[in-house]
A and B are shown apart, each in its own frame.
Chain A
Amino acid sequence: MTYFNRRRFMTGMGALVGALLTAGIMSAPSMAADFPTAKVNTTKLAVTDKTVKVGILHSATGTMAISETGSIQAEKLAIAQINAMGGVLGRKIEVIQEDGASDWPTFAEKSKKLLVNDKVATVFGCWTSASRKAALPVFEKENGLLFYPTFYEGLEQSKNVFYTGQEATQQILAGLDWIAKEKKAKTFYLIGSDYIWPRTSMKIARKHIEQHLGGKVVGEEYIALGDTQFGSVINKIKLKKPDVIYAAVVGGSNVAWFKQLNAAGLNSSKQTMLTISVTEDEVLGIGGENLAGFYSAMKYFQSQKNPSNEKFVAEFKKMWGPKSVIGDVTQAAYLGPWLWKAAVERAGSFDVDKVAAALPGYEFKDAPEGYVKVDANHHLWSKLRIGKWRTDGQADVVFESELIAPDPFPKGYQ
C-alpha cells in the first residue's frame, strides 16, 4: 500500500515537474481544456474555464488578528505559488477574503456568505475553536469545505473539514514522554487559560502523567482569558516546586505570564517548563529574553533544516517582509491550499464531496515541516518536535518524534 502510494506520489511529482517545465510552452487554458468546467464543477461552484474562487476567513481585526494574520499570509503565499505554477486544473485561484473580526457569530455569517453567495470551492480559515464551532454547522449544512490550521483539542471530525494542525494527543503525549525521560520529571504543574482547548489538553496530560508515566500532578490551574495576574499561581508553584510546569496559556496572558515568572526568579535555569501554546508568533510579544531555555512542543519550528522549509521561509519573508516570523499554525495554514490542490487534482473535480473523498491517503512529502499524510479521519499524520527557545526568538529543535497518527477521539483519555 505504501509502495503503491509512493509510486503514485512519484508519478504525481513527475507530472508536476513536467507541468512546470512546459508551463512556458503550454498555455494554461489548454490544460483547463482537458477538464471542461461542466465536468469538474457539477455543484454550481464559482469555477469558470479560467478561474476558481476560494475563500479566506480569518480575523484581520480584533484581538485575534495578531495570531491569525500569519495564517492569512501563509495561505496567500501558497495560493500565489500555486497560481505561478499554472493554478489548479488549469484555473487560476481567485481569493475572496472575509474578516471574522475575532467575533464568532461573524465567522458563521461570513462562512455563509462565502458558501451561499460567493459559491467558493473551498475556504481556508478559522483559528480559535470557538470560531470553528460557530462556522461548522454552516459548512455542514451548505456542504462547504474548510481547511482549519490550528492545533486544537480534538473531539471533532467532520466530513466538511480538514484539520491541518495537530489534535491534542499528537501534541501532548510524545512531548510528555520526552520531558519525563530527559529531565527525569516526576511532578508536574498544569496551567492553562480557561477554555475548551487547555482544559481538554490538561485532561489528556493528567491521564498520561498519572497512568503511563507514573508521575504526579501537583497542581492544576486555569486563568481567565486575557487575565494578566499570575502572582498567586506563581507563589503556589514556588511552594510545590514541580519538576515541570506544563503550560497552555494563550493570547495576551502569555506576555504577563512569562514576565512575571522571570520577575519571580523562575527562569529556565531554575525551572523546567514545557508549553504547548507558544510559537514564534507569540515570542514576538513575549520577548525571547523572557523565554530563553524553556521548551515548546509543536510540530513545526521556523528553524527546521530541510530544503523545502528553507525555501518556504525565504519566500515568506520575500512576500511579507524580512522581519516576519513563521509559527506552527502559519505553516499548517500554508499546507491548506497545497492539500486542496492535490485533492482536486486527484479527484479531477472541484465538487466538495469528490475532493473530500480524494484527500485521505494523500502524502505530502516535502511540506516545510517534513512528511505528512492525510488520515481517513481528516487529520494529518505528523511528527512532534520539541524546541528550546533562544534569546533571538527562534528555537533549537532538540527532539523529533516518530510519525504520530491522529486520534481525535482518544480512548482512555476522555
Chain B
Amino acid sequence: MTVTMSKILGGREGAIGLAVLALLILVILPLSLDLFRLGLVGKYTTYAFVAVSLVLLWGNGGILSLGQGIFFGLGGYLMAMFLKLEASDPISTKIQTTPGIPDFMDWNQLTALPWFWEPFNSLPFTILAILTIPALFAFIIGFAMFKRRVGGVYFAIITQAIALILSILIVGQQGYTGGVNGITDLKTMLGWDIRNDGAKYMLYYVNALLLIGSILLSRYILSSKFGMLLLAMRDKEERVRFSGYDVSNFKIFIFCVSALISAVGGAMFTLQVGFMSPSFVGIVPSIEMVIFAAVGGRMSLIGAVYGTLLVNFGKTMFSETYPELWLFLMGSLFIAVVMFFPNGLAGVWDKYAKRVGFIRRIMEGKGKADNTSADSNTQGAKA
C-alpha cells in the first residue's frame, strides 16, 4: 500500500512538487487574489486539464494530438446543454414563439426540443455523458486509426481535421448547437446560482481538486507497468510490438484517458465561465493547448499546469497593458521558450534550480533510502 502511494506521489520529489502546487492553487492564490483574478485562475486551470492530458498522451505516449479541443469542447458542450435547459424554463423564455426551449432554437425556427437534448434535463445523465461520450468518441477515432497503424504526423493532422470538422458542424447546425455564438447565458445548476461569489469560490475549489485528482490519476498510470510500456512505445514502438504487446490497444487506452481528463476540464470551464462556444473546439485552441504543455515541459504533469498558468497570465497581463502589441510579445515568448528551453519550465527547473544547494537537499531528502526507492522510473515520468 505505501509503495503504491509513494509511486503515485512520484517519490519525495514528486510529492513535494505536488504539495507546492496544491499549496499554491488551494491556499496562496485564493488568499492573495481578488475574486476576479481568482476567476481567471479558475478558467486557466480548466485548460490545465488538457495540458495534463497532453503530457500523458504526447510527452509520455509520443502521440501528438492536435485535436484535444474536441474533447474539451465536448465536455463543455455537454455541461452547457444541461445548464441551458435549466435556464430556459417557460417563465423566463415567455417572450419566445415557443417558450421553454433554449433561445437560440427559437431564433432558428425550432418549435420543439430536439430528441438528443431531452436527456440533458437530468444532471446524473449529464455527468455520466461527460465521463463517457468524449472517451467513447476518442475510442472510435483511436480504434479507426491505431488499428491501422496510423501514427506520428498523420495522426496529428487527422485529429486536427476532426477538430475543424466538429467546429464547422457546431457553427453550421446553429439551431441545435447555438452556432458561432455558442451556448450562452447559463445561470443555475439545480437551482444553485453559479454566478454569485460563493459559487465562484466553490467551483474554483472543486475544479482545483479535480485537477489534482487528474494529476494523481495520471501519475498512477505512468508509474504502473503500463506507464513503462508507454515510454517504451514512444521510443521504440516496433520493439514493443515484437515483444508481443498489442501496441494499438495501449494507444487507444491512453487516448481515451486523455479525452476523459480534457472533457472534465471542459465541463468545469462551462461551469466557471458561464458559457461555451465553438471557439474552444477548433484548431486554434487545440494548438494553443499543445503550447501550454510545451511551455510547461511536455514530460512533466506539474510543469504542464504551471505552463498553462504562465502562458494565460502572460496573455491577460500583456493584453491589458499593451492592447495593440500583446500578440507580438506572446509570440516572442513562445519562440524564446522553444529556442532556449526545449524542455519547457520543467527543463529549466531540472537544469538550474536543482543545482541550488538547499533546493537539492529538500528534494533529495537526508536519507538515501528514499531516493533509491522512488527512482525506478525514467527522468520525466515522475516530475
Contacts and interface: CB of A to CB of B under 8 A. Distances in A.
B182 A104 contact: yes
A308 interface: no
B217 interface: no
A116 interface: yes
A116 B182 CA distance: 24
Contacts of A82: none
A137 B185 contact: yes
B180 A97 contact: no
B102 interface: no
Contacts of B35: 116
B324 A61 contact: yes
A129 B323 contact: no
12 contacts: A60-B323, A61-B324, A99-B323, A103-B279, A116-B36, A130-B181, A130-B182, A137-B186, A137-B187, A196-B180, A225-B180, A414-B97
Contacts of B327: 61, 101
A155 interface: yes
Interface of A: 60-61, 97-99, 101, 103-106, 108-109, 112-113, 116-117, 129-130, 133-134, 136-137, 141, 153, 155, 194-196, 199-200, 203, 224-225, 409, 414
Contact of A137 (B43, B195, B316): B195
A195 B107 contact: no
Nearest to B95: A409
Interface in B71-101: 95, 97
B181 A97 contact: no
B137 interface: no
6 closest residue pairs by CB, A with B: A99-B323, A130-B181, A195-B180, A133-B184, A133-B181, A116-B36
B274 interface: yes
Contact of A134 (B43, B182, B323, B326): B182
Contacts of B104: 196
A134 B277 contact: yes
A195 B174 contact: yes
B171 A225 contact: yes
A134 B275 contact: yes
A200 B174 CA distance: 12
B21 interface: no
Counting contact residues on chain B (CB < 8 A from A), the size range is 35 or more
A109 B43 contact: yes
Nearest to B275: A134
Contact of B185 (A130, A133, A155, A195): A133
Given A130-B277, A196-B174, 16 more contacts: A97-B323, A98-B319, A104-B181, A105-B43, A112-B36, A117-B36, A130-B180, A130-B181, A133-B275, A136-B185, A137-B185, A141-B195, A155-B107, A195-B171, A196-B104, A196-B107
B30 interface: no
Nearest to B35: A116
A338 to B, nearest CB: 23
Contacts of A101: 319, 327
Interface string B162-195: 0000001001101000011110111100000001
A14 B185 CA distance: 44
A155 B96 CA distance: 9
A129 B324 contact: no
A414 B182 CA distance: 21
A104 B279 contact: yes
A248 B335 CA distance: 40
A103 B273 CA distance: 14
B161 to A, nearest CB: 15
B109 interface: yes
B107 A200 contact: yes
B39 interface: yes
Interface in B311-332: 316, 319-320, 323-324, 326-327
Nearest to A115: B36
Most B-side CB within 10 Å, residue of A99, A203, A409, A414: A99
A116 B36 CA distance: 7
B323 A98 contact: yes
A302 B185 CA distance: 36
A157 to B, nearest CB: 9
Interface string B272-286: 011101011000000
B273 A108 contact: yes
A313 B180 CA distance: 34
A109 B40 contact: yes
Contacts of A129: 181
B122 interface: no
Given A108-B274, A137-B195, A224 B185 contact: no
Nearest to A96: B320
Contact of B108 (A61, A109, A130, A199): A199
Contacts of A155: 107
Nearest to A61: B327
Contacts of A130: 180-182, 277
Nearest to B87: A137
Given A195-B171, A195-B180, A224-B168, A137 B274 contact: yes
Given A112-B36, A137-B195, A224-B172, A195 B323 contact: no
Contacts of A225: 171, 180
Nearest to A58: B323
Contacts of A195: 171, 174, 179-181
A194 B181 CA distance: 11
Interface string B31-73: 0001110011001000000000000000000000000000000
Nearest to A137: B185
B48 to A, nearest CB: 16
B34 A117 contact: yes
Nearest to A135: B184
Nearest to A227: B168
A134 B279 CA distance: 12
A58 B327 CA distance: 15
A209 to B, nearest CB: 17
A225 B278 CA distance: 13
Contacts of B279: 103-105
Nearest to A105: B273
Contacts of B168: 224
B325 to A, nearest CB: 9
Contacts of B97: 414
Interface in B120-143: none
